[in-house]
């Protein structure tokens, strides 16, 4: 994330207060950093100095962000075997982590506030909240005291991945707008501008200041007549946000532009339009499944200036992962992310399922011309979605704003490798924000509900839900997905224009027969894609209501409870 972008939107970055711990040593700046140090604003310098006293590093380097600096750091890491150059691609590198440090660690991610209720609701069944981890300031002080003092004193042994899985702790102090991350180098735990700041801390700032910080992609879609619209979409981690954000539409004449693939900051402008910016400067996407067929724009983006993590490697200096769909030339051998020789068919995957690419957004061939616009782009529709093998139709539209907020709160999805969960289970993931909430979900839902009533003359985006992942009885996907998802965006755009027919069902409006463009698609069973099995929905509606009432307890907004009860009633009458 570029600092300028953050600063444009955030005016409340408080002074850090690491100096509470005893200073063990004077900060030591090496000569060639003096210039950088002098250029630091006073409170940043204070922060660095107090952190240095606490952590006791041998040297301090102030990053300038220059190309020269990046190359010398990579060169140093290469010399220490911490990264490997990938000579088949210009300025591409591979880092393989300690196998214990491969994903976000939700169980060790905490929000520190005086009052527990500011962070998580109190479940009505007396169990621990599933909507985040609260830590009291007193426990936080103790835990930090056990980790940070002197933690940089000992040299890191070259060629091992620095991490401390037993002591990993990712702590957020939303009142102070502060983050302290210890013990993990995995991106989602250690790239603090991303999940930690742009979602957890920013969602709290957004609540305080009347805007929204969301786990959403932003894309531009232009129809063959040249009408362009922007939509934002929230899917849980590793459910295809990057693929949708960079889609190559298979319907003739349609065009997609990418604004962002993971995070949206949104606010209503003075004319009542919801405007979104992408606060990030690059993509940190899941590699497995990415191919020239599924996401050619991503493949082009990552062909240079990219750092790969935990992917496999070809003996001719390229990358490899499950689903890359590129033939291996004769004589070329493969090495897995764990460093072992690997051949197709081996029991273990070549790339870790949560292996990633980290690459500059500006290299994506379809970045929308407005992607860095400071005003943001106007959002006409918000799309929720998840990985639902059963029962959930390809697309449906909310009846109105509160119903749309309810649909977001009721999101569920099959677990993926993005976090530490084991096995394939259907998890609740309200607004795809469960791992990224910076405050109580009940207050968060109320904040979203308030968007309808807070300002006058607001043009609220319409709200939709999609599911590309429904399967038939044999376990095959019912929908081709990828570039054909443009057909669903086409229906959504035509709904916005008042030109697509819909049927009212207990869950929302679904496309009327014939209103979704299926031309040229072979063998798609529209009935199966849109069927609403009564038994499934009875169970689903009951589970959603139970989850929301138990997990949110007294913090469940009455409007959301009313929607949950109504869904159950409508399904019972089906
Ligand atoms: C991500 C995630 O890395 O959501 O974007 O886990
Ligand atoms: Mn994400």
Ligand of minimum distance to the alpha carbon of 285 = 1
Q: Higher-confidence residue: 7 or 445?
A: 445
Q: Which atom of ligand 1 is nearest to the CA of 419?
A: 6
Q: Residue 565 pLDDT > 80, yes or no?
A: yes
pLDDT grade, residue 13 (50/70/90)? very low
Q: What are phi and psi of 288, to 5 degrees?
A: -55, 140
Residues assigned a catalytic role: 104, 186, 195, 215, 237, 239, 262, 356
The bridge status of strand 134-135 relative to strand 109-112 is parallel
Which residue owns the Cα nearest ligand 1 atom 1? 237
Ligand of minimum distance to the alpha carbon of 356 = 1
Average pLDDT, the chain: 91
Q: Which atom of ligand 1 is nearest to the CA of 104?
A: 6
Ligand 1 pocket test: pick from 237, 240, 263 the residue with the most ligand atoms within 8 Å of its Cβ. 237
Q: Residue 471 pLDDT > 60, yes or no?
A: yes
pLDDT grade, residue 155 (50/70/90)? low
CA–CA separation, 254 vs 225, rounded Å?
A: 9
Q: Residue 384 pLDDT > 70, yes or no?
A: yes
CA–CA separation, 406 vs 426, rounded Å?
A: 18
One-letter-per-residue 3-state SS of 221-240: EECCCCCEEEEEEECCCCCC
pLDDT digits (tens, 9 = 90+) for 401-431: 999 999 999 999 988 776 666 667 889 999 9
Name the strand (E) or helix (H) holding 138: helix 137-147
pLDDT grade, residue 27 (50/70/90)? low
Ligand 1 pocket test: pick from 284, 309, 415 the residue with the most ligand atoms within 8 Å of its Cβ. 284
Ligand 2 centroid vs 420 CA: distance in angstroms?
Answer: 14
Ligand 1 centroid vs 309 CA: distance in angstroms?
Answer: 14
Q: Residue 37 pLDDT > 70, yes or no?
A: no
Burial of 253 (0-12, 13-18, 19+ CB in 10 A): exposed
Q: Residue 2 pLDDT > 60, yes or no?
A: no
Ligand 1 pocket test: pick from 234, 262, 355 the residue with the most ligand atoms within 8 Å of its Cβ. 262
Distances in Å between the alpha carbon of 412 and those of 106, 430, 440?
17, 7, 18
Ligand 1 residue neighbourhood (C-beta within 6 Å): 104, 188, 237, 262, 284, 418
CB atoms < 10 A from the CB of 218, how many?
30
Q: Which atom of ligand 1 is nearest to the CA of 241?
A: 5
Q: Residue 9 pLDDT > 80, yes or no?
A: no
CA–CA separation, 535 vs 522, rounded Å?
A: 29
Please tell me what DSSP assigns to residue 362. G
Ligand 1 centroid vs 188 CA: distance in angstroms?
Answer: 6
Q: Residue 21 pLDDT > 70, yes or no?
A: no
Q: Give pLDDT, residue 5.
A: 36
Ligand 1 pocket test: pick from 1, 217, 238 the residue with the most ligand atoms within 8 Å of its Cβ. 238
Give residues with Cβ within 8 angstroms of 138, minimum separation 6: none
The bridge status of strand 377-385 relative to strand 502-504 is unpaired
CA 278 to chain centre: 12
Ligand 2 centroid vs 414 CA: distance in angstroms?
Answer: 15
Ligand 2 centroid vs 329 CA: distance in angstroms?
Answer: 34
Q: Give pLDDT, residue 16.
A: 27
One-letter-per-residue 3-state SS of 509-546: EEECCCCCCCCCCCCCCHHHHHCCCHHHHHHHHHHHHH
Strand ranges of the sheet holding 319-320, from the earlier edge strand across to the other edge: 319-320, 312-314, 334-335, 341-342
Span 463-470, average pLDDT: 97
Complete domains list, the chain, with CATH: 18-62 (no CATH), 212-283+367-533 (3.90.228.20), 284-363 (2.170.8.10)
Q: Give pLDDT, residue 425.
A: 84
Q: Are 29 and 37 in contact (CB under 8 A)?
A: yes
Q: Residue 19 pLDDT > 80, yes or no?
A: no
pLDDT digits (tens, 9 = 90+) for 273-311: 999 999 999 999 999 999 999 999 999 999 999 999 999
Burial of 213 (0-12, 13-18, 19+ CB in 10 A): buried
Q: Which atom of ligand 1 is nearest to the CA of 262?
A: 5
Ligand 2 centroid vs 236 CA: distance in angstroms?
Answer: 7
Ligand of minimum distance to the alpha carbon of 415 = 1
pLDDT grade, residue 200 (50/70/90)? very high
Ligand 2 centroid vs 435 CA: distance in angstroms?
Answer: 10
Phi-psi region of 339 (alpha: psi -120 to 50; beta: other; left: phi over 0): left
User: For 296-335, b where at least 16 C-beta lie within 10 A, e where not — what string?
Assistant: bbbbebbeebbbbbbbbbbeeebbbbbebeeebeeeeebb
Q: Which atom of ligand 1 is nearest to the CA of 356?
A: 3
Q: Give pLDDT, residue 23.
A: 37
Which residue owns the Cα nearest ligand 1 atom 4? 237
pLDDT grade, residue 10 (50/70/90)? very low
Which residue owns the Cα nearest ligand 1 atom 2? 237
């Amino acid at each position: 994330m570029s600092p300028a972008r953050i600063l444009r939107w955030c005016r409340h970055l408080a002074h850090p207060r690491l100096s509470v711990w005893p200073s063990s040593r004077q900060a030591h700046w090496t000569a060639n950093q003096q210039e950088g140090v002098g250029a630091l604003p006073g409170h940043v310098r204070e922060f660095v100095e107090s952190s240095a006293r606490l952590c006791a590093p041998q040297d301090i380097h102030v990053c300038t962000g220059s190309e020269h600096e990046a190359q010398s750091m990579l060169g140093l890491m290469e010399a220490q075997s911490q990264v490997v150059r990938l000579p088949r691609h210009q300025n591409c590198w591979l880092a393989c982590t300690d196998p214990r440090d491969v994903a976000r660690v939700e169980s060790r991610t905490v929000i520190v506030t005086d009052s527990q209720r500011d962070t998580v609701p109190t479940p009505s069944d007396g169990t621990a909240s599933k909507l985040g981890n609260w830590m009291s300031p007193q426990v936080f002080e103790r835990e930090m005291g056990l980790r940070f003092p002197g933690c940089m004193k000992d040299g890191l042994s070259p060629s091992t991945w620095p991490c401390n899985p037993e002591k990993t702790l990712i702590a957020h102090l939303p009142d102070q707008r502060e983050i302290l991350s210890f013990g993990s180098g995995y991106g989602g735990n250690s790239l603090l501008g991303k999940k930690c700041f742009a979602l957890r801390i920013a969602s709290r700032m957004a609540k305080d200041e009347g805007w929204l910080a969301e786990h959403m992609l932003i894309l531009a879609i232009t129809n063959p007549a040249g009408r362009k619209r922007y939509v934002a979409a929230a899917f849980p981690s590793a459910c295809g946000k990057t693929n949708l954000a960079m889609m190559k539409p298979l319907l003739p004449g349609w065009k997609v532009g990418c604004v962002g693939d993971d995070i949206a900051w949104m606010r209503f402008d003075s004319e009542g339009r919801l405007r979104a910016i992408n606060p990030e400067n690059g993509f940190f996407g899941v590699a497995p499944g990415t191919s020239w067929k599924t996401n050619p724009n991503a493949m082009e983006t990552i062909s240079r200036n990219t750092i790969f993590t935990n992917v496999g490697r070809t003996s001719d200096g390229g990358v490899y992962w499950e689903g890359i769909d590129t033939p291996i030339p004769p004589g070329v051998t493969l090495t897995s992310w764990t460093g072992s020789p690997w051949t197709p068919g081996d029991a273990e995957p070549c790339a870790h399922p949560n292996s990633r690419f980290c690459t500059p957004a500006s290299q994506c061939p379809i970045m929308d011309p407005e992607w860095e616009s400071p005003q943001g782009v106007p959002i006409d529709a918000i799309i929720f979605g998840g990985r639902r093998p059963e029962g959930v139709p390809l697309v449906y539209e909310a009846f109105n704003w509160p119903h749309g907020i309810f649909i977001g709160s009721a999101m569920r999805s099959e677990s993926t490798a993005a976090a530490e969960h084991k096995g394939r289970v259907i998890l609740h993931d309200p607004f795809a924000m469960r791992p990224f909430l910076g405050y109580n979900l009940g207050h968060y839902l109320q904040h979203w509900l308030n968007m309808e009533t807070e300002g006058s003359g607001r043009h609220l985006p319409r709200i939709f839900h999609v599911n590309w992942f429904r399967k038939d009885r044999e376990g095959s996907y019912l929908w081709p997905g990828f570039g054909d998802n443009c057909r669903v965006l086409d229906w959504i755009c035509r709904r916005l224009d008042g030109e697509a027919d819909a049927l009212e069902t207990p869950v929302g409006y679904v496309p009327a027969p014939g209103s979704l463009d299926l031309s040229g698609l072979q063998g798609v069973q529209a009935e199966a894609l849109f069927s609403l099995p009564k038994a499934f929905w009875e169970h689903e509606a009951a589970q959603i209501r139970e989850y929301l009432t138990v997990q949110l307890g007294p913090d469940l907004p009455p409007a959301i409870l009313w929607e949950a009860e109504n869904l159950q009633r409508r399904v019972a009458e089906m």
